[in-house]
A and B are shown apart, each in its own frame.
Chain A
Amino acid sequence: MDSPTESEQLRQTAGYSFLFLCDEQRQMIRKWDLVHPHARHSDGADIARPAEFLLDANGTVRWVNFTESYLVRARPKQILDAVDAQGLASK
């Protein structure tokens, strides 16, 4: 939802090294049915519900995680275990 500038600032501040993609116009979350309407506290804007997907090289969904609360997210170990279980670790 953030602009590239805001995302880059967050990436640098938090020290993240992975790729950030910016869905400023909410096109992606609308297409994927992941919109949480009016959920941003600051201005009531639409934002994404928490969701994590593991896709294989063909773009097929191999693992998906929807938590039941927006305060709960997938833990890194959960994601790594899914990558291992699906045999998608880098070789």
Chain B
Amino acid sequence: MPNGGLEVKRSWNPILWAGFALALASLPLYFLFLVRYQNTRESPWANVLVSAIAAVMLGVGIWRAYNRPQQFRGKVFGPILTLLSVAAIGLLFTTIYSVARNLPASINAPQLGQRVPDFTLPDSEGQLVTFSTLEGQPFTSNEWPPKAAAGKKASGTVLIFYRGYW
């Protein structure tokens, strides 16, 4: 662009691209890393923070593109990157707050006060274990395989249905 006879090379508006990259990165950041930790999985505060930073960067980039077009590019690709960023962040939060909550009602699951039927399943060593044989048996939770601990008996059992790596 002419500027006192000199051609000024316009910037590619890196903050805009950085904001876009950050918004895109929020997806793998959550699903590959933050989901492993209870504090960042249950309440995605870290992703809210990352998304907010990305939004500010995109906003600054767009502002530069439209208010200093002689210096910064981005009038065309800025809105496109912003829309893609909104889509990425939207996908993340839709998954967390909508898809993840779409669970079966399990209305026929055992209820409070109900006695559950006995069952037998293999343990992680392939040995069949019958639930009723665990009830009231001596064990400590810190031993494997469960062994007798002097004077201690289990008076209850916690059953956790595990469905993933957390």
A residues touching B (Cβ–Cβ < 8 Å)? 1, 4, 7-8, 10-11, 17-24, 28-29, 31-37, 39, 47-64, 66, 68-75, 79, 83, 86-91
Contacts and interface: CB of A to CB of B under 8 A. Distances in A.
B118 to A, nearest CB: 7
Contacts of B121: 21-23, 28
Interface stretch (B5-13, B16-24, B66-74, B99-107): B99-107
B155 A61 contact: no
Contacts of A50: 103, 161, 163
B141 A18 contact: yes
B157 A36 contact: no
| A-B interface, 5 closest residue pairs, ranked by CB to CB distance from nearest | A88-B156, A33-B108, A8-B124, A7-B124, A20-B124
Interface of B: 35, 38, 41-42, 96, 100-101, 103-104, 106-119, 121-126, 129, 131-132, 134-136, 140-146, 151-166
At the interface, is chain A mostly helix, strand, loop or mixed?
Answer: loop
B155 A88 contact: yes
Contacts of A8: 124-125
A17 B124 contact: no
At the interface, is chain B mostly helix, strand, loop or mixed?
Answer: loop
B112 to A, nearest CB: 5
Given A48-B162, A52-B159, A54-B157, A19 B103 contact: no
A33 B144 CA distance: 30
Contacts of A51: 106, 109, 160-161
B152 to A, nearest CB: 5
A4 B155 contact: no
A73 B38 contact: yes
A17 B113 CA distance: 28
Contact of A19 (B104, B123, B163, B164): B123
